Amino acid sequence: MDRTELARRIYEAAHLTGTFVLRSGQVSNEYFDKYRFESDPRLLAEIGRHMKALVPADTTKLAGLEMGGIPLATVLSLETGLPSLFVRKEAKPYGTRQLAEGGNIAGERLLIVEDVITSGGQVVASGKALEGLGATIVGVLCVIDRESGGRDNIKAAGWEMFSLFTKSELESARPSPV
């Protein structure tokens, strides 16, 4: 599937209208429901194939953020052969008590994988926590950049952000109303 068709398919699967409160606290009249593209195996596989080209060459592990980044990191791991970590919003107080499950963090060059980025607040918080555990963040990769300040906030944290699509690109690929 080419990039334009993928954008159209993501838009059709995930774009909703109504009144939505985003994680950032912003209120929006539209929403991209990432679970609608992440739960479709064919669409998720295509997203992974297209995201593969955006992975920095010096990445040693993929860090999928809870919860939407986890299926994306998994499919991207299958595409690239890179191991993945599953990063919680905070370490649980029981079990292994790890912030990230799936392997060592210290000394790794991590690419943070996320679904939709609005302000980038959780991405920055998680990335800083991973750095605190000895990782180097090589960048942040998402499927959709909502173009709402996330790229600037991630840049201010010292990282480059790569997005498969921006909100504008998805809107321009949407099917024409009949």
Using CA atoms, how far apart are residues 38 and 126, in angstroms rounded to an integer?
A: 21
The whole-number average pLDDT for the span 114-120 is: 95
Tokens 């954008």 identify what position?
Answer: 7
pLDDT for 176 beyond 80? no
pLDDT score at 18:
95
Does a structural domain hold residue 25?
A: yes
Helix 69-80 vs helix 41-51: crossing angle, to nearest 10: 60
Supply the pTM of this predicted model. Answer: 0.94
The CATH number for 72's domain is 3.40.50.2020
pLDDT for 24 beyond 90? no
SS3 21: strand
Contact 161, 155 (CB under 8 A): yes
With cut-offs at 50, 70 and 90, classify the pLDDT of residue 178: low
Domain count, the chain: 1
pLDDT score at 54:
98
Buried b (16+ CB within 10 A) or exposed e, 65-99: beebbbbbbbbbbebbebebbbbbeeeeeeeeebb
Task: Tell how strand 136-145 and strand 109-117 pair up.
Answer: parallel
Does a cis peptide bond (omega within 30 degrees of 0) precede residue 161? no
Which residues constitute the domain of residue 20?
Answer: 3-172
Does a structural domain hold residue 178?
A: no
Does a structural domain hold residue 177?
A: no
The fraction of the chain above a pLDDT of 70, given in percent, is 99
pLDDT for 124 beyond 70? yes
- The rounded mean pLDDT for the chain is 95
